[in-house]
Each structure stands twice: as C-alpha cells, then as structure tokens.
Chains A and B, each alone.
Chain A
Amino acid sequence: MTPSERVLQGIGVSAGGAVGPVALVVPPEPLPDEPRPEDPAAAKASIVAALDAAARGLEERAARLEGDAAEMVLMAAGMARDPGLVEGVDEQLAKGFGPARALHQAFEVFIDQLLALGGYFAERVSDVRDVSARAEAILLGRPLPGVPELTEPSIVVARDLAPAETALLDPALVLGIVTADGGRTSHTAILAAQRGIPAAVRVDGALDLAAGTLLALDGESGRVTVWPTSDTVEALQRRAALRAHVATLSGPGRTACGHPVALLANIGDVSDLPVGVEVEGVGLFRTEVVFLSAQHAPSVDEQVALYEEVFAHFEGRPVTVRTLDAGADKPLAFANLGEEPNPALGRRGYRLGVRIPALLADQLEALSIASRNCGALVKVMAPMVATPAEARDFVDAAHAVGLQQAGVMIEVPALALRAHDLFAHADFASLGTNDLAQYTMAADRMLGDLSDLLDPFQPAVLDLVAHACEGAASRGTPIGVCGESAGDPLMALVLTGLGVTSLSMAPSRVAMVRHALREHSLDTCRAMADAARAAQDATSARGAVAALASPALLELL
C-alpha cells in the first residue's frame, strides 16, 4: 500500500514543478580512528598534497563552467589553497591528531566561526564543508563525496549542496532539488534558478526521506508533497504548464482592452541583458556599477564605451539611463564627501552631482556621445530630485548637450506632491517605488523589521503615486515605474489603473506581468486602484485587489 500523502514546507527558490523519486546525497562517512602520527612532518606533507589535489580537481571543474558557477567553484578551490588553513593544520597536528582528523578540525575551526556569525557568512558553510570532505576523502583514498550517480530522472535531496555539486548537476536527470539547510542566497538557490531547476530550501524533514520516495516539488511555493496523490500531481502539473505557457507569451504590454503599458527591463550592465525574455526597452539602466568599483573617476571615453555596449543591443528601442546614484551609503573612492549621520537623507544621487559638477557633466557628455553613435532611443533621468527647480536644472543641462529626452526619478514625496509643476520641465518621470515608500513611511529599507511599513500596497504610497500620475496626465507626459513593485503582477495592475504608462522590472518578472495585463481591462485596473486606495492598510488593499483579479492570474501567484 502506498503511504498517505503529507506535505513538507520549505522556501521556494527556483520556480517550476517536479515529480520524481528521491536521490539522496549521502553525507560523508565518519572519520576512522587514527593513531598519533609518528612523523608529523610526513603527515603534514600528505595533508598539503591532499588539499592541493582537491584544489586542482575543483579548478578543473571550474574550467568547464562559466560565469557565476565558475566563480563559485574557483572560490572553493581557493579555500583548499588557503594559507590560514595550513596554519590550522599545524596547530591540530601539534595536539596529536592523526592527519585526517587534523585536517577536519582545521576546517571545523573556521566553520564554527562562520556559523557563529550567522547570515551571509553562515551560508558559506556548505562550501567549506564540501572542500573539507573532498580533501579528507582524497587523503583517506575514499571515493569523493557528493551527488550519487543518477540512473533515472530524480529529485536530489541533501542537507545542502556545495557549489561544485550544484554546478555540475545534469539538468536532464535532476528534476528538482530539495535541501534541509541553505537560504535564499545560498549557492543552491542561485545556481538552481540560473539553470532552471525547480528547488526548495530549508525544507523541514527533508533528511528523513528515504531514497526512492516519490515527491512532488513546487519550486514557487516551496511545498514538497511526499507520496503525492494523483490530484496533487495534476494540480502541480497544471500550474507548471500554465507558467510555461505564460513564459511563451510575447509582444508589447497591453491590457485586455488594448491599452498599452510598455514592459521594460532594469539592468546594471551588459551582463544583466535579458536573455530569452522579450522587452520593449530598458526602463532603468543603473550606471553606478562602473563607478563604485573604480579608484578614479572614469573618463568620458571609458564611459562612452560602456554605454555604447549596452545601447547597441537596443536599436530603435528606448533605454532610460539613470545618472549616477551614489554617495552617502554608496560612497565613491574618488568623490567622497565624508560620512553622514543619516545617509538615506544625505548628499546622494543628483545632490552629489550638484556638489561635484564634473561628475554629472562628464556623464551627460558621455551619454550624449554614445547616443549619437547608436540607434537606441536614449533617455536620461536623475535620481534623488526633490524639487521642480532641481528637475528643471537637470533637464536643461541634458538638453544643452543634445540629450533630447530628460526626466527625473520620483522618489522623494515632495516631488510627487509638486508633480504638476515638475512636468512643466520634465520630458518624463519614473517612480522609484522602493525609495518613495521608504521616505513616505519614514522606514529604513535596510531594516527587515519594518518591512510591513514598506509594503508597496501601503495606501499612502499609492496616494502619492496617484498624485504624480495626475500631474503627468495633466501635461500628457509619460510616467513609468522602475521599483520592485512594477514586477509584482497585482501591483502592476494597480499601477496601470493609477495611470502609469510603463513598467520596468527584473527581466525574470516580465512574463508574469505581461500575462497579468492581458487578463485585465483598463477599467478593471482602475477599479483595483480605487479599491487599493480605499483600503485602510496594506494587507486589506492587497486583498481588495486580489478579489478583482482573474482566476487565471490568481492560480499562478
């Protein structure tokens, strides 16, 4: 008799559905008892040789990989070549441990420290454990630990997967990944999402599963169903098929009644260019990447080359460039105005450009040159503008160097409130909803504890968005959104209803937002906007909007 269905809950980190048997990653065998080494120097030499072999093995793997995966595996190889580790081995051998135990303990010292630090640091522990287990296996002449050789398509279940393991998984045989540990930023999560393998992490009870157990995994919700019924499997497959269908939709953003809402991408540099996702252009090109890591101000020529590289991909399409958004909490090595007690309210964005005029002038000149050399429709906008007068100064400066489309980010509530005056000057505007929420709610974006105040459905924030949209409409000026809320399908409908004319988001969000728009008319979007603004708080606002949404969208959320 098949055991009855039960559900394990984890965190979904890579969307998609998978049904298949468990392939269990067996943890490394316990270390053998070892006598005190008679020749500590020989013991050390054998350990160093094992570490070197482990490093070489990882470097060979890295050479077969690309991008983030290669970088992660190389970092693991770097750990095996760590001089601090060899110092630790000396200490452990001096205590009288045998070679394998000494090596293990040397790693454990670092692992304990990383675990005690928690957060990002603790999420690196699986990498260190993997390097440790590899070097120990080599030292002991045992087979390398890791994912067992798969003989049929399976769902890999592990405590956590190290980068080398995740990076080498064969997507043809790995249907999904379930781990007991890890987190949203662990390698398992990042690489699984990159490779399109459904995955859930922090799944309670995952390690108690026996090999061969049938699982149904929903990588979106993080639900893992053990011995699923046929109904569960069908529902999972239906959702997966719907999402796959949504991913194939193409064409410009349109509501069900044909009202256009441009679907744009947020990017930082060419490595972020959307692959396999159709977008109508770029709504936010963050230019600070090149500045933040530089020791000296990038020259006009250097900037031109960088901008042209991006513009070349968008012939005939708009690319909205945000001028340097640095300063205060994102200090520049070459333009640092010093520490500030309250960086979120300090000399950042456009304010930095005013205090160091060459910074902004050089960037506008470079953008102007690059735009003349390419066929992209280049638009520029300044961040952290607080008054219509600042907007006018920026727009005039951009027009003066031949950049015809110049506007501003609306992130400061004061500017949203004076939107009518703003649009006497700006050719367009883009709402930065993350910062707008932070400043409206007086709640620091970096404080997770205040995230309920920063919910994009906060009616006060929506009121400001509505006011800004009215200002834009009164002059017939386009107004977009490039904050995270543009990529939330329900919020995208509300924003459309409020009068937003373009939505710019992480490329991975575009397909679902395109689908959401197609399922709803502009009238419905307006009713959603009214319902959200009529609500007393963010939770009921979201609920009121969901109540007006089509079942075809809700099933996928």
Chain B
Amino acid sequence: MFSRRNHDSAEICLPQADPRPAERQAALARTRGRYAYYAEDDPDNLLAPVAGAGRFPLSEQYDPSWGLPYLPLLARAKAREWWLNLEGLISRRGKTATYATFFNPWFRPGPAADGYATDERLVEDRLQGPNPLEIRRVADPQDVARLLGALDRPLAPSTAVLASEALARGDLYQVDYSLLREAQWAGSARDSRWRRKYLPSPHALFWQAPADAPRRTLRPLAIRIDGADPESPVFRPDDGAGWELAKLYLRVADINAHIMGAHVYATHCVLEPFALSTPRHLSARHPIHLLLAPHLRFTLAVNRANMMLLRNPRQVYAIIYSGDLPITRRIIVAAARRTTFPALALPTDLARRGMTDAPVDYAYRDDALLHWAAIARFVGRYIDLFYTSDAAVQADDELARWVAELGAPDGGALAGLLATGAERSRDALAALLTQVLFTAGPGHAAVHFPQPDFHAAPAAYPAGAYAPPPRSRAEADAARFEATLPPLRPAAAQFRNAQLAGFQYDTFGRYDAYPLGRLAVAQAAIQGLASDLQAVEREICRRNRGRATPYPYLLPSRVPNSVNL
C-alpha cells in the first residue's frame, strides 16, 4: 500500500543507507504480495498487451474523502440525464433543438456549446480544445498529396498556391486520425454501412499565413471524412453542407481518438504500472515512493472502474462512443503500440509533432511547458536531497528493480524508461519522474477537464456518428447532418458522463494530506514548487486575458495531483 503514515525525515532514506535493511525488506516483501500485474494470458485484461493491475489491496480503492464530495455531482448529473430522457420522450423536437435544452443556469454551457460550427472553432479546438495533442506539422509532402490528390475537383488556383507556399514554409498542419484506422481489424478496412454507429478516421489539412501576414491563425484547407475508404470524398470549406458534415465527422473522430488514445492510454494506462511497481519495489521509506504517492493516488481504483466500463456493453463506452466495445478497446491498444512512454514526454512529443515553436498560438504547448519547467525544478531539487551523486542512483537496488519491472514485458511493458550502468544518472531519473508527475497532473488535466465544456454538448462533439460517411458530396445535406447526430439516449449519457468529469479531488503540488507534505527535508523544494505554480497561475491568467478564447485547463489551481477520475 502506498505509504500514508507520517515519517521522520531520518526514516526516509535510500536502501543503501537504511540502518534496518532486514526490516525494510520484510515490509516490502509483504506489500509486494498484495499487488500483481495481470498474467500474460489473463482474459480479464481486456487491454492486453497493455499492462494492468490484476490484484491490489482494498486500500487503493476510493475512500470517503473522494466519494463524498463526488456524490452530489453524480446525483445532479444523473438526475439531469433522467430528466432529459423523459423530456425527450414527451417533446418531439429535432436533435439539434433538443441538445440546446441540455444547458440551463445550473448546467452552464462550455465554450463548445456556442459557435462550434465555425471554421475558427474547428482550428481553435485543435490547438486549445479538448484534445490539443493530435495536430502536427506536415513534414511529408505525401500527406498533402494523399489528401488533395483525392479531390474530385481542383483547389482554386489561389488556394493551391497558398497551400504549396505554406508547405514550403513549414506552415502546413494536419490532423490524421489514423489511430482509428489501426484499431480496425486487418482485413476489414472498408467501413460498413450496416452498423448503427460509424467510426470514421478523417484526415484534415490546415495552413497558416506567412509571418508578415496581419492574421496568422490556422485555417482549414480540406477534410477527407474517412481516410480508410477510397470512396470517401474530400470536402473543402466552400462545400456548404458537405463541409459542415465533414467537420462533424472530424469532431466524432477527435473525441474517440482523444478519449481512448490521448486520455485513457497516454495518461491512465501508462501510469498504472507506476502505481503497481512503486509499492511492489520501492519501500514506503524510499524517497521516490514518498514523492509518487500523491501522484498515483486512486489511479488503480479509477483504472479498475474503467476496465469494468470497457467490459460492460450496457455502460458508457458501449453506449456513447462510435466503436463497438472490442474496437474501442483496440483503439487503446493501438495507441500503446504506436508509441513509448519516453516518446510521450512533453518536449519529445512537441518535437515529434513539429510543434515546438509553431504555430504561434498554441496555448496547450505554451502553458504546459510552464508546468514542465516547474515540475522539473522541483523534482531535481528533491532528487538532490537523497541522491548525492549519480553513483547513488546506480547503487539503489530498489530503484533498479522498480525500473526493471516497469520495463519488463510481463511487468509494466514500458520500454526505454531509464538507461542502465553509468548512464543511469540523477538527471535521467529526474527526467523520468518529471514526466510521471507531469502526466499525472497537467498532462491528464489537459485532456480530462475540457470534457464538461466540450463533450457535454453532443451537437458540438458527438461521441458517435449515427449515419455512414457519405460516399459523394451530393449525399451531404442538412438532413444527413441531423441523422449523423446521436439519438437522445446516448446524447444524454454523454452529457452526464462529461459533467462527471468536472470533479476535482485535490490540487497539484499541495501535499498537506500526504506524508510528503510533512517531510521536513523536502519543505524547501515543496515551497519552491508552490511558488513556481503560483507564478504559472499568474502567467496563464495574464495570457488568457490576451487570448481570443481563454485556455483555463492548465491553471495550476485546476490541476489535481493524480489521475483519479
């Protein structure tokens, strides 16, 4: 169990410095027996080969400190869902008109509820919306050719020139939901018309005007609704109803890729091995155990609950999202297969997507980097308290076993975490822990807390498409748009689910309730973190005042310590 009792500063020490090694090992062995990964062939692990917790003690489950404040929100959202379903039975309004009634003074609409259909919002949501992790700079001209080559009529000459120039300048961007294609079973690339819900995998291009232009916000160039279907047409912004439909499918794809990929896999699933291997291999007296405990609080509990939802065909994943449950689970597995934990580190991810210094208005990047720097400073100072040299890191056998299990195929299966031998330095350890803390805090907050604002509006972000993607531009009209929106029951369930995501258990960097907060030797580092986070808060507030739409999701006051919901 994660340590919750107070420790004297003297008790917290590395294993090589522990005056009572036998007692330490005995306690660690007892704890280790209470946690276990799923066996390789355990049918309960629906996300295999993604690692998961097969066994953990009851103390990891939610307790009243979490449940009691959550209950009013749950009751309110559930009651609202029931009322919406009842109201929908009585009234005979169309879908769009019905969804507009979801909000009232008690359920205030988020930014997504208004103006979601505009091209400006389409772009803005890619940069500071619910999933700002999908957009990337076009590096391969083939990506452009793949999309524009499928146009059944050429771009206007002026647009074609703009696109070509933007590509040459590096000002062309794309979102390609190929993850959703990878989740389909090989051999079944063609999307069927004979399902109730459809899971398109759109590909969209955006371009940015040159540096001397008066307005440099991104603008959309074209969207292909289903990149897996050769019959899927490419839509341009001047395609009227077809363009609106294309944007709708893009948002459907975005919510599915976002929840399963950027959210569930890249935060929940990657932290599960840390939540398991930490009590298994790091003694409760180990300083890293103490550091991680607040940031892994209730992670096993939420992931276990999530696994139950991914198993049950009557629960939210099956009801609201576009894929059938097996496909939905495969999106998570596909997300795991296409990346590694180190590749998910913020600076690495930004570099991989070509988003380190462009486009100019990328609120997620700008705000997240502030957090990254603050966390890195804190972790560096904390590490230095206990590891006086790189040799101390290398001599820490608990740490060695922890890292080995995290990377083992029958353990956490997180490859490339920490080098061995002389390269296992304090800096490398600090970088790893920085990523863990960032993922548990701001990284998760950025993809979790926008849900009440965006996903609560089913017309703006429907989680499922209920009409097959059109095979010709002529098929796309207003009636098709309405038919593509979800029916009331899944829409109301989506509304409820998104409302529940607004619950915040604690605040990042506040360790009063944890032994870490009472560790005398760490007080200076903790106060330094608090001070840095206050500065981050002020800076983001300042930036938000200058932004066309504020981006509040990385305000430190709105970021919890751990992935607990």
Partners in one complex: no
A residues near B (Cβ < 8 Å) are none
